[in-house]
Amino acid sequence: MTTGSYTLDTVIPAPRKIVYGIFADRERYGEFLPIHTRLQVAGSTERQGIGAVHFLGRGPIGVKERITDLVADERIDYELLTKGLPVDRHFGTILFSDHPNGTRVAYTMDSTPSLPMPRPLLVLGLRLAISTLVSGARRQAVRAAKASV
């Protein structure tokens, strides 16, 4: 079975605390993405922490994802839980570190489709998903950084 992985490594011109906060607050993704989000199960120690399950989509169509690891201001790991998607498994990792121009974000998605799919097509889909999310988060982070000055 084909597997695909894609990593976007970029710098967002805002402090790490702001950038991490935007990615970690999945309930607010609808402010910068064309989707609705809602928390379905709270995390074990904090609302959107490890074990939290979020629905991301429009109306009844979307995906559920669970936070599997979380290190404040450093790392977010998640996995998709939704059955019936054209993927058998899908994991994401977002790493945050300081950079002279703001915050370095390394966002990786790994996916195994449930249907035969050429690897380049799978990687293209992952790249589109990451790029859309990071672009929206970048706009939010820049606005938040300007507002905090």
Residue 57 has pLDDT above 70, yes or no: yes
pLDDT in tens, 91-144: 999 999 999 999 999 999 999 888 888 888 888 888 998 999 999 999 999 999
48 contacts: CB under 8 Å, gap ≥ 6: 24, 25, 26, 27, 39, 42, 54, 67
pLDDT in tens, 74-86: 999 999 997 766 7
Please name the amino acid found at residue 21: G
User: How far is 112 from 46, CA to CA, in rounded Å?
Assistant: 30
What domain range includes position 25? 4-147
Res. 12 pLDDT band, cuts 50 70 90: very high
Please tell me the total count of domains within the chain.
Answer: 1
CA dihedral 30, 36, 41, 43 (to 10 degrees): -20
Least confident of 1-10, 44-53, 131-140: 1-10
User: How far is 19 from 82, CA to CA, in rounded Å?
Assistant: 27
26 contacts: CB under 8 Å, gap ≥ 6: 37, 39, 48, 52, 54, 56, 65
Taking all residues of the chain, what is their mean pLDDT, rounded to a whole number?
Answer: 92
Residue 149 has pLDDT above 80, yes or no: no
What integer pLDDT is reported at residue 84 of this predicted model?
A: 64
124: CATH: 3.30.530.20
Calculate what percentage of the chain has a pLDDT beyond 90: 68
Tell me the pTM: 0.93
Q: What are the E-state strand segments in the chain? A: 4-12, 36-41, 53-58, 61-71, 75-80, 87-99, 102-113
Q: In what order do the strands lie in the sheet with 61-71?
A: 4-12, 102-113, 87-99, 75-80, 61-71, 53-58, 36-41
What integer pLDDT is reported at residue 1 of this predicted model?
A: 60
